[in-house]
Homo-oligomer: A and B are copies of this chain.
Amino acid sequence: MSKRPNKSSSNRLSSSPPDELNHIPLLKILSSADRRRVLQDLTEQRYTKRDVIFREGDPTEYFHIVKEGTVKCVKSTPEGKECTLKMLMPGDLFCCDAATFEGACHPGTAQPMGDVSILRMNKKSYFEMLRRNPEAAIEVIKHLGNRLKEAQEKAKVLALDRADQRLASLLVDLATKNGVKDPQGIKLPMRLTRQDMANMVGTTTETTIRIMSRFKRDRLVSGTATRLIIRDLAALKALASA
């Protein structure tokens, strides 16, 4: 269970081509002077599937941005049950809340879904940046607002919907936010097992497999973990809000 925190690499960014980071909203809005300064404070970390970026309960030291790959944010119980709170995609910020302040701990564990690249900055530099740059602070507020809205929507779904509806909601969400076009329908870009899905919608692996089998029979989806395809988005949407 416990793996050593095995950072594959850690690079300075100051020498990177400046355009490489243009897809990250937070960096885009900085003045070019301030941007250069921020790039000095950011470092790039690379992780692979078996690493852990940080663990639930660890002290918070950095502010993070996903540069490449997918990161999952999970909470677990002493008995070993797991709950996946959020999949973080390129451009997403995490630990951007200032609960990250003095002596705070991570409320969840951050784990790569494959090879990922993360940009990070220590708390001190991060808050200095926010103080210098109110637009950046507002950008972070916007981001947190969206995250909160998502988390609340998720709570509603967990509280009120059946397992098949929750799963349908999940697939709709992933397809619309991260899906890429495919001759068969919409392909999900990350490896996603039924177990992963189960953890995201609060059910067991078996139940998820049964429901996915039904969806497959009804031509709503096809494929498995390595190549999951949404074939009838409309039908899934209808089921999600039935």
Q: Using CB atoms and an 8 Å cutoff, list the residues of chain A in contact with chain B.
A: 75, 77-78, 81, 83, 85-86, 96-101, 107-108, 127, 130-135, 137-138, 140-142, 144-149, 151-156, 158-160, 201-202, 241
How far, in Å, is A59 (CB) from chain B's closest CB?
Answer: 15
Q: How far is the CA of A107 from the CA of B152 in the complex (A)?
A: 9
Can you list 9 contacts pairing A with B, beta carbon distance less than 8 Å? A75-B152, A75-B153, A83-B159, A101-B142, A108-B152, A130-B134, A131-B135, A134-B134, A158-B159
- Tell me which residues across on chain B come within 8 A of A156, comparing CB atoms: 75, 83, 85
- Tell me which residues across on chain B come within 8 A of A83, comparing CB atoms: 155-156, 159-160
- Tell me which residues across on chain B come within 8 A of A100, comparing CB atoms: 145
Residues A160 and B96 in contact, CB atoms below 8 Å apart: no
Complex: chain B residue closest to A95, CB-CB: B145
Q: With A85-B152, A159-B83 as given contacts, are A141 and B140 in contact (CB-CB < 8 Å)?
A: yes
Q: How far is the CA of A107 from the CA of B140 in the complex (A)?
A: 19
Residues A141 and B98 in contact, CB atoms below 8 Å apart: yes
Residues A151 and B155 in contact, CB atoms below 8 Å apart: yes
Q: How far is the CA of A98 from the CA of B127 in the complex (A)?
A: 19
- Tell me which residues across on chain B come within 8 A of A97, comparing CB atoms: 141-142, 144-146, 148-149
Residues B142 and A98 in contact, CB atoms below 8 Å apart: yes
Q: How far is the CA of A85 from the CA of B130 in the complex (A)?
A: 29
Q: How far is the CA of A86 from the CA of B160 in the complex (A)?
A: 15
Q: A98-B145, A131-B138 are in contact. List 12 more A-B contacts (CB 8 A).
A: A75-B152, A77-B160, A83-B156, A85-B156, A96-B141, A100-B145, A132-B134, A144-B145, A154-B155, A155-B155, A159-B202, A160-B202
Sort A-B residue pairs by CB-CB distance and give the 10 closest, nearest first.
Answer: A97-B145, A159-B202, A137-B137, A151-B151, A98-B142, A144-B144, A158-B158, A99-B145, A83-B159, A131-B134
Q: How far is the CA of A4 from the CA of B73 in the complex (A)?
A: 43
Q: How far is the CA of A212 from the CA of B6 in the complex (A)?
A: 48
Residues A202 and B158 in contact, CB atoms below 8 Å apart: yes
Q: How far is the CA of A99 from the CA of B143 in the complex (A)?
A: 8
Q: Given B78, B145, B146, B151, which contacts A152 in the complex, CB threshold below 8 Å? A: B151
